[in-house]
Structure 1
Amino acid sequence: MSASLADRLAAAVETGMARGRDDLARLVALRSVANPAIEPASECAASAALVASLLAEAGVDGVEQIEAPDGSIAVVGRSTGPADRPCVLLYSHHDVVPAGDHDAWSTPPWELTERQGRWFGRGAADCKGNLVATLLALRAVRSVLGEWPLEVAVVCEGSEEQSSGGMEALARERPELVRCDAFVLADTGNVELGVPTLTTSLRGTGSVLVTVRTMAHPAHSGMYGGAAPDALQSLLTALASLRDADGETTIDGLDHEGTWDGAEFDEERFARDAAVVPGVAPLAGGRGGAGVADRLWARPAATVLAIDCPPVSQVTAAVQGEARAVVNLRVPAGTDPKAAQELLVAHLRRHAPYGQVEIRPVSLGQGFRARTDGPGYAAMSRAMERAFGREVVTAGQGGSIPLATALAEIVPDAEVMLLGVEEPASRIHGPDESVHPDELRRTALAQALFLVELAGLDPDAEVGP
């Protein structure tokens, strides 16, 4: 009995879901944090070996594990297709962020656990869930067609969460590993469960470490307070100047009036997703009546990530002689992050009222804006709409994926598409990270449909059993 190619692919993905869950459980069980100070390096090595085995079993040829310049292990492979067909590269990463406080988890972080219709575990969504969706898509295409309809390359990075640039450096050293006509970077997600989303914009980023010194050591607040130059107060004054009363980032000389032209982000949903406490609202409004999406994806955002000063549990009556903080700056695509970081440095120096101010850049990442006018983007939009049963929306991503910019430089003619199984309830990077199996299934089917569509095959054409 014949059925359409799309129906055959959907059935193959559905059949593969049980295997996909098993694969995800095996991957989640490996504590692949690419930092040997947190988890043993053997865990990342075991993770890379498992990824290589799974990709080879899915039919990818030439799978190999390659040590990147930062010491991490990337898994790559490439299968040829008909000579006149394009090449697609499917990207994900097998490293994860640390689990953090295990007591903050409802279930063990390194054990895939099903609860309330979701699968919980560190990396269940970011990014091992994305890898499993890609595996499901590859198996479905092979089982239905019996061959690759186009050239398929895979790259699974081993240190993305560390921002150490291992895969970027490897791609620049060996550009043949990333040669393709279209990149599918499975490392983002949907604005809402069941809403197919293509990420078209990534923020650039830069962090600085600012230190204020005023005295050689703390001074008793009873004897010296009032006249002693308080380093902590000076630092707090400078940090407070980074935002206005509406919460708008107001770094001297940095544009903060951009507007987002894609999908809006509903304030109530954002408040739920971000777990904003009752009586507090998202930071919207202000200049031009900015919405949540404007603040997230079209305007700069300065965030104080950490402050070194005495904790309340160790309070003493002393004026501080030194205090320091890490400030992270996110800027919209199209803004030079280095220039923005320099403006941040100048701003902090200018607004610290007294003391010796030392500021050191600690990270820098370029933003990214995807092309949306190519055949790959059109094929992916159709594939996602068919898989999800509703129209695709576009969104920005608050985070940065430096590799996206690097790949666009290394293979400038290739299209870059960003998608994934993540959605707000996934709580990536936090306790109780999870993935919804329906999102995994739909994303897998979208990738399978994309592969056949880009190869020039008609998803509605009937194929035999």
Structure 2
Amino acid sequence: MNDVRTYLEQKREEHLDELKQLLAIPSVSALSEHKEDVRKAAAWFVDTLQKAGLEHVEMIETKGHPLVYADWLHAKGKPTVLIYGHYDVQPVDPINLWETPPFEPSIREGKIFARGATDDKGQTFMHIKALEALLKTEGTLPVNVKLIIEGEEEIGSPNLDPFVEQEQNKLQADVLVISDTPMLGKGKPAICTGLRGLCSLQIDVKGTKGDLHSGLYGGAVQNSVHALVQLLDSMRNEKGQVMVEGFYDDVVDASPEERESFARLDHHDDEMKDELGVTELFGEEGFSTLERTWIRPTLEINGIYGGFQGEGVKTVIPSEAHAKITCRLVPDQDPHQIASLIEKHIEGHTPLGVKVTTTRFDTGRPFAASIDHPAIQAAARSYEAIYGEPAVFTRMGGSIPVVETFHRLMKLPIVLMGFGLPSENFHAPNEHFHLENFDKGLVTLCHYWHELANIEEN
């Protein structure tokens, strides 16, 4: 490992320059105007994987954005690892809140700032450079590897599920490894053993055939914005509980042991309040902050709009109003079932005088794993060897839809070992990645592949 460390230290500036090239590509999968940019990012990965020494590198077309595949399969008798990552990124709005342009990477205060720096270009890039370092210094890899890198994770991976189902032989492995989750905090490595699922809907309220003068018609007709607010308010009470009938029916409660382990983690609500700039935290009554964000389901309003939006006042009764909502789900909630329950709730709570329609968007199933699997324990040993701190086992409030797909279709054990920090603004302005974790993460991954190769001996 000394040769690997030396190689990574010598190549650090070169690697950061390469990462900047990748981060400069505006591969926003949600926006059609960036379709060619997304493809450019895929091509960049193809070229980088080939230069790193990986084999059978190919760009695979889908109905949407392309996938990138590569492998190296010469470690006879050793495990095969499937590494997943994604090269697409979130939109950058609101652009005025970025201190530096989101696709002009800059390094300051030991961090690299750009959209995708931590989610997930930076962490996917680390996997390639760790493999390259081993190939350049040791001439081989301790395990067999396959990589699948997609360009649609930020829009729910609509074309990856059918690909995985059709190409299970191509992707067959002994373990799936993903670096797209946060550590617990600075210097505190964490292995994520659970992810919340997702369902999302748009709600459209239609009242009168057009906007009306509020003086002539106010008090005589239903106001679409008022109706929407009333409808949304019916979905959650003042205790943070979702009031949609049947919403909690399939929730599998965390074990007392797991809840006790969360309580022992070094989490402080006051620090979180300071970091977020709020006077109070809020959530479902009867649960701690970590439990609310890791093991409890939610229903959140992500956007609401209708009526006059310009400067000053326009005295109208809006004809239309709209809202976007998402639910984060936990085992064993089914996103399609939850969407149906919400639609049923809307039917039963629609105020008089308006019509309501819904449109379903992204879905993802929740996932939970046991901490006892040897591959997960090997990851914990690798973190501790490099960071000097025992890894803790956490869950994550976010969603990675493909995790449940691989688990369900291929029965793969899944190791979620990320190197980002919760404070790094992924999905928000000024996203960044701490270079301390870039450096230590590369060495941790190299260490992990050796740990995994000797897993039977341990």
TM above 0.5, yes or no, is yes
* 2:176 paired with 1:183: yes
Matches within 5 A, 1:228-307: 228-255=221-248, 261=259, 262-263=261-262, 265-273=267-275, 275-277=276-278, 280-284=279-283, 287-288=285-286, 290-307=287-304
Aligned to 1:287, the other structure's residue is in SS state coil
Q: 1:195: which partner in 2?
A: 188
Match of 2:167 among 167, 174, 191: 174
- Of stretches 96-105 and 225-234 in structure 1, the one that deviates more from structure 2 is 96-105
Kept after mapping to 2: 8 A contact 1:193/1:424:
no
Mapping of residues 39-438 of structure 1, within 5 Å: 39=34, 41-70=35-64, 72-255=65-248, 261=259, 262-263=261-262, 265-273=267-275, 275-277=276-278, 280-284=279-283, 287-288=285-286, 290-313=287-310, 315-354=313-352, 355-412=354-411, 414-438=412-436
- Return the TM-score normalized by structure 2: 0.90
- Cα distance in 2 for residues equivalent to 1:343 and 1:168: 24
Would you say the 8 A contact 2:156–2:364 is kept in 1?
Answer: no
- The CA distance in 2 between the partners of 1:56 and 1:231, in whole Å, is 56
Task: Indicate how the Cα distance of structure 1 residues 459 and 85 shifts in structure 2: closer, same or farther if over 3 A, else same.
Answer: closer
Conserved in 2, the CA contact under 8 Å of 1:69 and 1:170? no
Task: Identify if the C-alpha distance between structure 1 residues 360 and 100 changes in structure 2 by more than 3 Å, giving closer, same or farther.
Answer: closer
- Distance in 2 (alpha carbons) for counterparts of 1:200 and 1:438: 24
CA distance in 2 between counterparts of 1:235 and 1:457 reads 56
Deviation string, structure 1 residues 166-194 (Cα, Å, up to 9, x no partner): 22222222223321101111222212122
Match of 1:22 among 17, 25, 28: 17
Report the secondary structure of 2:358's partner residue.
strand
Give the C-alpha shift of residue 272 in structure 1. 4.0
- Report the count of equivalent residues: 447
| SS in structure 1 at match of 2:262 | coil
Further displaced range: 440-449 or 136-145: 136-145
SS in structure 2 of the partner of residue 425 of structure 1:
coil
| Offset of residue 87 of structure 1 | 0.2
Q: CA deviation at 1:206?
A: 1.0
1:162, distance to aligned residue in structure 2 (A): 2.2
Match of 2:437 in 1: 439
TM-superposed CA distance for 1:383, in Å, is 0.9
Q: Which moved more, 1:44-53 or 1:232-241?
A: 44-53
Preserved contact between residue 371 and residue 416 of structure 1 (Cα < 8 Å):
no
1:23/1:132 contact within 8 Å kept: no
The letter of the residue matching 1:387 is I
Q: Could you say what secondary structure the match of 1:313 adopts?
A: coil
1:97-151 deviation line (CA, Å, top 9, x unaligned): 2233443211122122111111111111111110221123212322342212221
Structure 1 distance, partners of 2:86, 2:5, is 25
Does the residue aligned with 1:222 lie in a helix, a strand or coil? helix
How much does 1:427 deviate?
Answer: 0.5
CA contact (8 A) 1:118 1:437 kept: yes
Instruction: Sort the Cα spacing of 1:153 and 1:86 in 2 relative to 1 into closer, same or farther, 3 A.
Output: same
Instruction: Report if aligned partners of 1:452, 1:458 keep a CA contact under 8 Å in 2.
Output: no
Work out the CA distance in 1 between the residues paired with 2:8 and 2:170.
28
Q: RMSD of the alignment, in Å? A: 2.4
Contact 1:124 1:434 in 2 (8 A): yes
Instruction: State how far apart, in whole Å, the 2-side matches of 1:321 and 1:97 are.
Output: 31
Residue 134 of structure 1 aligns to which amino acid in structure 2?
H
Shifted more, 147-156 versus 161-170: the winner is 161-170
Note closer, same or farther for the CA distance 1:127–1:238 as it changes in structure 2 (3 Å cut): same
| C-alpha contact (below 8 Å) 1:276/1:282 kept by paired residues | no
| Distance in 1 of aligned mates of 2:456 and 2:5 | 14
Name the amino acid aligned to 1:292.
T
Identify the match of residue 32 of structure 1 among 12, 27, 48. Answer: 27
Q: Is the 8 A contact 2:374 2:455 kept in 1?
A: no
Contiguous gaps of at least 5 residues in structure 2? none
How far apart are the structure 1 equivalents of 2:49 and 2:116?
A: 18
**How many Å separate the matches in 1 of 2:164 and 2:317?**
50
Shift in alpha-carbon separation, 1:351–1:270, aligned structure 2, 3 A: farther
Contact 1:213-1:322 at 8 Å conserved across structures:
yes
Deviations 1:238-289 (A, max 9, x none): 111222223333333322995663535432333344x233xx31114x532x
Change (3 A) 1:122 1:360: closer
Going from structure 1 to structure 2, the CA distance change for 1:297 and 1:170 (only over 3 Å counts) comes to same
Alpha-carbon distance in 1 for matches of 2:45, 2:342: 41
Whether the 8 Å CA contact 1:421–1:439 is kept in 2: the answer is yes
Report the identity percentage. Answer: 27
Runs of 4+ in 1 over 4 A off after TM superposition: 256-260, 457-460
Distance 1:10 1:282, change over 3 A: farther
